[in-house]
Structure 1
Amino acid sequence: MKRLVILGGGESGVGTALLGKEKGFEVFVSDKGTIKKKYKDVLLNNEIEFEDEKHTELKILNADLVMKSPGIPDKVELIKKIRSANIQVVSEIEFASRYTDATLVAITGSNGKTTTATLTHHILSQDLDVGLAGNIGDSFAKQLLMENHQNYVLEVSSFQLDDISQFQPKIAVLTNITPDHLDRYDYKFENYIASKFRIVENQTSEDYFIYDADDPIITNWLQDHSIRSKLLPFSLKNEIKEGAYYNNNEITITIDNNKLIMPTKNITLEGKHNIKNAMAASTVAHLLKIRKQTIRESLENFQGVEHRLEHVLKINKVQYINDSKATNVNATYFALESMDAPTVWIVGGVDKGNDYKELFPFVNEKVKAIICLGVDNSKLFEAFGNMVDIIVETQFMSEAVKIAYKVSEAGDNVLLSPACASFDLFENYEDRGRQFKYAVRNL
């Protein structure tokens, strides 16, 4: 019996444990932190051995296969020991993908991947049996076990792609690449870029790669590297012969001379970046033979993603907007770009080596006050201190929202778009966004 050791007892770890047990592995789960009660109960009910608050090396280094949670970096001593013992380390999407014949649509990118994945799933689910997994909702492994869909839309991060060996999506989507998570890639942008492109490394000429042709980082990489998949670019700027482009409020998608033209005036998602997300999702749908009418209706009734430019409430004619999912500068760029009123901006958290320069034009033009919400806000004060009349700091969401209420006036926006990770003051970006919404509703 092969021994599967799982490092990390969260959603992906416990899902892998259940699938591993079903597939005949001897399974052991080890978490250096505390495993949440809901996950402990699942492990206990399924008689899966586990430990938390420690890693017992004797029980780990005798593995045949190790699945590590995406949150654990390679530079951890234990991971080095596992690798030097020649034990294969895989991510959950790699492990799970070995046990399915389903059609896989994998979506990655620095920004837009959650919206694109959720939108793609929304369109496909009108006509197909399809699951949504990866970074969203139930883990891929657990869904294979419980629901076993014929198709999956997977939102995959660079960390999940770092530990693949055979993972081969039928359709791969790359929304964009901007500097992010550089702390995990030795502060080398090229390492992060290479990691994102692993999404296509096992694809063949029978598979498809959908990508943003307006992104110079993607197009430069493609000029220097050959990939086997069929290329289907999308663009806001240029006409595309095979792929998708946007012109005169219409999206045109062409695949094998099969053309689809769709008006965009009724699309619910706002902003140029969401036209791109819609092009990517519609291209996937067109490839999988979804009818034009279904695609169009789905784009028009899609409700968006929680914590992504989510309109919370209007109070005294001030619109409060939750964009807690903006954990990097580029995401905040799109948020500020789409503001059409003077904006009180709540920003800050764990800085991942951010360069705030690209935000300067929007801050000058649209931002009237900045509220810094982080343990260390010195970099924000340095970057924006001279640009706005009001810049204050706090470490409490309730206080940040109260200050925003005081300094805003009728017609303004109050935007939570942190451009940073949340782990200094919050459990995760969802916790941050929910605290914001709670504070706004309690004004």
Structure 2
Amino acid sequence: MTELTVADATSASIAKPATKPARPYFSSGPCAKPPGWDASKLAAEVLGRSHRSKLGKARLQYAIDLMRELLKLPDTHRIGIVPGSDTGAFEMAMWTMLGAREVTALAWESFGEGWVTDAVKQLKIEPTVVRADYGQLPDLNQIDWSNDVLFTWNGTTSGVRVPNGDWIPADREGLSFADATSAVFAYDLPWDKIDVATFSWQKVLGGEGGHGVLILGPRAVERLTEYTPAWPLPKVFRLVSKGALTEGVFKGETINTPSMLAVEDAIFALEWAKSIGGADGLIARSDANAAALDKIVAERDWLGHLAADLASRSKTSVCLTVEGADEALIKAMASALEKEGAAFDVAGYRDAPAGLRIWCGATVDTADIEALGPWLDWAYATAKAAA
């Protein structure tokens, strides 16, 4: 198919492509289910059972064990399943550990800005705020690591990620708090540089929303047991009892009642991930999908990357610019694609610059990314003609 330029896209009506993505699920959360997923494949005997039963605890512990195995997480780090998705996990970390020293908050997309708001308006602390525009990173080498540092590893709403962990010093005084919800299972993360990490099953694993995962390194555990924040803690945030870490939280004894259906769904995804080579297999699939989308962008002069720097460009939540687009044009493109069943949920995040956002995580098949290109041509031409 002949690719469209900006000039001819508005003057030509093109036929609908013959081939649609087999699984047109490109949402950045909840994301596409793993290939082969079917609700009937979930362990039904667990449903309707108490999470505190022997079986319930065993399945929760199994999910934790699978995550540890796939992430190659050292024994020094604890893994807990907590309420409230990634947001709940990150806020749990903030509410229980901040206030012991000065704080630096990095913000280059909407969720980073959310953590700034929490720190300032809810916890009433005055962080040093380091900002960058959508599509860019600040100078990471200028961060003062005598402070605790809050940052987003992979900006889902901006398509920007930190390139690696080299900017985090091994001898840091403060703690590193990484909101890694679109990064875990998509990058080889340096766990020795991360004191606190949070994520949700709904991203790279394609699990259900509502549950977060909190990963604590030894320095974070030390902070929890030696420091008591000045503010009251909600019950669902309490990780310490009588000065000691509540170890049960990290052994499948959740603070509140989890959805065992969501847990079984996550186990399905984790077992699928193990079957394709674990974290390495997941990373390879994300890399292939991002490369396929890069090729689509390179072949079209009306498409671009919001994150211009390849080294800091997300390989999961890829945010694209569209020549001459405003919110109405993007809405028209996304609506046309959804109506045809060619692509679902590809409009950019509401607070981001007008553009497209294509999820390229491991649960998406590369062939579906490749099939998306001609449909983007069609949607762009259709929307421009109707404008």
Tell whether the structures are fold-level matches, with TM greater than 0.5.
Answer: no
- Structure number with the bigger relative contact order (C-alpha 8 A, sep ≥ 6) is 2
More strand by share: 1
TM-score, normalization by structure 2: 0.29
TM-score, normalization by structure 1: 0.27
